[in-house]
Amino acid sequence: MTTKKNKMDQSLSNTSQSRSVDRKTIEKNRRIQMKALSSELNALLPQTSRAPLTLPDQLDEAANYIKKLQVNMEKMTERKRKLAATGSSSMSSSVDVSVPKRLPKIEIQETGSILHIFLVTSVEHKFIFYEIISVLSDESGAEITHAGSSTVDDTVFHTLHCKVEDCDYGASSRISETQLLHFAGIAIYASISLANDAEADDETPFTYEQNPEKGPEGWSKINPHWKVCNNGKLQSPIDLTNARVSLIHDEAWRREYKPAPAVIMNRGHDVMVSWKGDAGKLTIREMEFKLVQCHWHSPSEHTVNGTRYDLELHMVHTSARGRIAVIGVLYKLGKPNEFLTRLLDGLKTVGKEEKDLGIVDPRTIRFQTKKFYRYIGSLTVPPCTEGVIWTVVKRVNTISVEQIAALRNAVDDGYETNSRPVQDTNGRPVWFFDPNIIRV
Ligand SMILES: [Zn+2]
């Protein structure tokens, strides 16, 4: 290959260098170039090792192929009709009426070694199709054998075929419709804004009071960079109502935390423990987020079926590209919390300066991770940056009265209750993960 290339370079430079070379040599060089190009092109084509077929065999094969296409075509037409008929109505029974039009719909079918994926989206969301293609081809290495879309009014019908044996995910038993949609959803919403903003610093002028100027309704008026707090469509917290929950199985999140030096400080509106060393990471699908800090809100910010709990812990993680992923853990009054017990001395004397806590092991923030909610939202304090991947753990943990009191005493006056009211979901999907459910 190298020698061929050298030869080509040489012949190229020869032609361009010398005007005295006669036409024959130019012709010869051109032929050499064409030959080299054509052999390079040939090398790019897939190699077929099959022996050439006789003419009758070829005709048989062609007839079979056409038959197969016809069967597929009929199936797809049928599917298309069904999807068009149920596209929005099947979802409106459980979800907000304004939502279904925007929600994409997906169905997966396995025929022989081919996986047929049917997707219906609105025109504005047709890029979900490309997200799904990239999930399949980039991450599972699947060979996409067909991809096509057709638009009828505001609706786009997509079809995608991929070879099952190529899929790392295995057969469709491991690629569930909801999973693919979830992947696509994460991609859509997380791509809206890369979260570069940090949470608000201390001495923040915003409050949690019912005050149209400084309270949650007026946060966007306090600072021009906080507009999204009141104008955004992906704000947090939200109510994690069952009606908006989809049952889905997901293996694709991992926490690998480790002990690291940490400090504690009063940020005015909350108390924060911030890790100074490498405290490990959270992996959601293949995206990695480093654990940066944790802080508390009381009462809880997220509600479940309208129920507000006594406390919510936020573990804030950031990716190398500036994306934010937050884990929310809910607490109700009961037994003391192990992690806070260790921090109690530090909490009592916490101030505006960072106070050294020594080594703090994030693994002592114990919570069950089997069942959880996931959605795309925002930071719950200004600048309310959107695109945050939220994971709210289903299992409610306990905290003692003394511990809540210690947390409330540690913040500035007026911030004893520091939870933002729930925000409109604006049709965002909220996913509920349950390991007992394999497929839905
Ligand atoms: Zn928070």
Q: How far is the CA of 220 from the centre of ligand 1 (A)?
A: 18
The single-letter code of the amino acid at 257 is Y
Measure the CA dihedral 71/74/77/83, to 10°.
-80
Q: What average pLDDT does the chain have?
A: 76
- For residue 96, the CA-to-ligand 1 centroid distance in Å is 27
Q: How far is the CA of 419 from the centre of ligand 1 (A)?
A: 8
Tokens of 292: 């940066």
Residue 161 vs residues 93, 112, 126, 128, 207: alpha-carbon distances, Å = 30, 12, 17, 16, 53
pLDDT-derived band of residue 291, with 50, 70 and 90 as boundaries? Answer: very high
**What backbone torsions phi and psi does residue 416 show, to the nearest 5 degrees?**
-60, -40
Given pLDDT bands bounded at 50, 70 and 90, which one contains residue 378?
very high
Q: Let me know if 317 is a catalytic residue.
A: no
- pLDDT category, 101, cuts 50, 70, 90? very low
- Ligand 1 centroid to 237 CA: how many Å? 9
pLDDT score for 84: 63
Q: Which of 176-190, 298-312, 383-397 has the lowest average pLDDT?
A: 176-190
Kindly list the domain boundaries of the chain, sorted by start residue.
Answer: 79-84+98-175, 197-433
* 3-state secondary structure at position 177: helix
* Active-site residue (options: 269, 295, 297, 302): 269
User: How many angstroms separate the alpha carbon of residue 329 from the centre of ligand 1?
Assistant: 11
CA of 271 to the centre of ligand 1 (A): 10
406-436 residue pLDDT tens:
999 888 888 889 999 999 988 877 888 877 6
Architecture of domain 197-433: Roll (3.10)
Of 112-116, 148-152, 270-274, 421-425, the range with the lowest mean pLDDT is 112-116
Amino acid at position 170, single letter: G
What is the whole-number distance in angstroms between the Cα of residue 324 and the centre of ligand 1? 12
Tell me the CA–centroid distance for residue 358 and ligand 1, in Å. Answer: 23
Q: How confident is the model at residue 67 (pLDDT cuts 50, 70, 90)?
A: confident
Comparison of pLDDT for 168 and 98, the residue scoring more:
168
What pLDDT, on the 0 to 100 scale, is given for residue 162? 79
Tokens of 382: 């200004």
pLDDT beyond 60 at 440: no
CATH 3.40.190 fits 79-84+98-175, yes or no: no
Question: Which parts of 211-334 fold into alpha helices (H)?
Answer: 219-222, 228-231
The CA 119 to ligand 1 mean position distance, Å, reads: 36
More confident residue, 173 or 395: 395
How many angstroms is it from 138 CA to the middle of ligand 1?
34
Q: Given this model, what pLDDT does residue 21 score? A: 60
Q: Show the 3-state SS of 91-152.
A: HHCCCCCCCCCCCCEEEEEEECCEEEEEEEEEHHHCHHHHHHHHHHHHHCCCCEEEEEEEEE
Q: 59-63, 80-84, 323-327: which has the highest mean pLDDT?
A: 323-327
Contact 130, 104 (CB under 8 A): no
